[in-house]
Amino acid sequence: MITKLAGFGSTHRGKAIIQRKRSTRVTSALVGASIMALGGGIAGAPALAAAPDPMVNAAPSKHTRKQLYKALDKYLEALNEGDYERVKWADRVRNTENNVALEVGDGLWGTVNGLGDYRLQFADERTGQVGFFGTVKEALEESAFALRLKVEPNGAVSEVETIVVRQIDSGIKFVNQKFEDKPPLLEQVAPESRSPRERLISIADGYFDTLQLNDGALFTKFHPDCARVENGVQTTNNEEFSNIVPVAAMGCEDQMKMGNYRYDDRLRARRFPLVDEERGLVLAMAFIDHSGQLEEYELTNGETVMSPLRRPHSFYLFELFKIEEGMIRQIEANFITVPYNMPSPWDKWD
């Protein structure tokens, strides 16, 4: 038996959002008002990606890349059709969209008209996580879209973390977006050249340390050919985008050495849930807090500039790092603006 959710109208292709009876309903853990009252703040040390705990279960991992990609494919096929019931759900599901806990079937499931052609996927066999960057089509626009799933050994999805960057809602407009393959993100790393996952995480975390209160000091290493794409636009070595962000014409390392991002007050609630060791990829989630109090500041070249961010707000982000020979080679990021110091449901759950 199925019933309509109270307060909701029709969904994708005229279907109503539905829920099963309590005995068979798949639910996601919801975050109440008490979580919204929690303050942010940088933890004493960023948590590493969750790993198997021999105190709980010392059995070897039962995930394979093939199985994780299969679960992702099934999820994306269901999302493309706007039919969440086609997904194999675990008995307990944690689900967020744009940093808000939602019932499975709500949000994007009710507005999606299809997925775009861009497809970047990666997996962490050790923790049973699989990630995806692409685009999603809704009534008014096609938007950058990223996804993380946690898959149980039986193939059931137990965690979903989604970000949709809708330009119509964005404070910063990213013009001339290009959603295309970046070869470094697709290449495997030779086994003898692979870094341990803990080192990969520390290099990615060093990027956040460099960005926080950016004053020209480097806490990570950049590859000479490092490039960064944010919300579908290359924001390094891009003369065109420098009309919006002047340092966009510079490379990754030179931007940081310039101390341009001084207005990034905090890189908070950092998480590194997925590490693809074969490809040298680290998927991170975090918030960048902007207090808006900084008016002007001096770059390392002696130039005085005005801060472009003069109001309290935060960015919630998915950031994927390709690390090659101990250096950041490529970055792909999707981020949205959220209320200042907004907490994360995942901090509560973790």
Whether residues 128 and 267 share a domain: the answer is no
For 108, the domain range is 1-30+61-169
Say if 43 falls within a structural domain: no
- When comparing pLDDT for 23 and 206, which is higher? 206
* pLDDT at residue 37 in the model: 39
Domain closes at, from 110, 136, 169? 169
CATH code of the domain in which 9 resides:
3.10.450.50
Say if 254 falls within a structural domain: yes
With a CB cutoff of 8 Å and minimum separation 6, the contacts of 183 are: none
Say if 103 falls within a structural domain: yes
Whether residues 148 and 17 share a domain: the answer is yes
* pLDDT at residue 243 in the model: 81
Domain closes at, from 124, 139, 169? 169
What CA–CA distance (Å, rounded) separates 123 from 129? 6
In which residue are the tokens 């299809």 written? Answer: 114
Q: Are strands 296-298 and 281-290 parallel, antiparallel or unpaired?
A: unpaired
- When comparing pLDDT for 33 and 74, which is higher? 74
% pLDDT > 90, the chain:
74
Average pLDDT for 231-252? 90
Say if 54 falls within a structural domain: no
Whether residues 319 and 194 share a domain: the answer is yes
Domains of the chain: total? 2
- When comparing pLDDT for 51 and 19, which is higher? 51
In which residue are the tokens 């990570």 written? Answer: 220
Whether residues 184 and 161 share a domain: the answer is no
Whether residues 146 and 186 share a domain: the answer is no
Whether residues 160 and 217 share a domain: the answer is no
Say if 45 falls within a structural domain: no
Whether residues 1 and 127 share a domain: the answer is yes
DSSP 99-120: TEE--TTSGGGGT--EEEEEEE
What CA–CA distance (Å, rounded) separates 144 from 15? 25
Residue 162: closest CA among 150, 178, 172 = 150
Whether residues 294 and 234 share a domain: the answer is yes
* pLDDT at residue 176 in the model: 80
Domain closes at, from 169, 193, 226? 169
Residues 287-324 have pLDDT tens digits of 999 999 999 999 999 999 999 999 999 999 999 999 99
Average pLDDT of the chain to the nearest whole number? 87
* pLDDT at residue 52 in the model: 65
* pLDDT at residue 230 in the model: 96
Whether residues 182 and 162 share a domain: the answer is no
Residues 164-198 have pLDDT tens digits of 999 888 767 787 888 999 999 999 999 988 999 99
In the numeric block, which tokens belong to residue 71? 């679960």
Average pLDDT for 96-103? 98
Whether residues 160 and 181 share a domain: the answer is no
* pLDDT at residue 10 in the model: 37
Whether residues 140 and 11 share a domain: the answer is yes
Whether residues 232 and 104 share a domain: the answer is no
What CA–CA distance (Å, rounded) separates 141 from 256? 33
Residues 24-44 have pLDDT tens digits of 444 444 434 343 434 444 344
DSSP 203-231: HHHHHHHHHTT-SS--SS-EEEEEEEEET
* pLDDT at residue 11 in the model: 39
What CA–CA distance (Å, rounded) separates 34 from 337? 22
* pLDDT at residue 53 in the model: 76
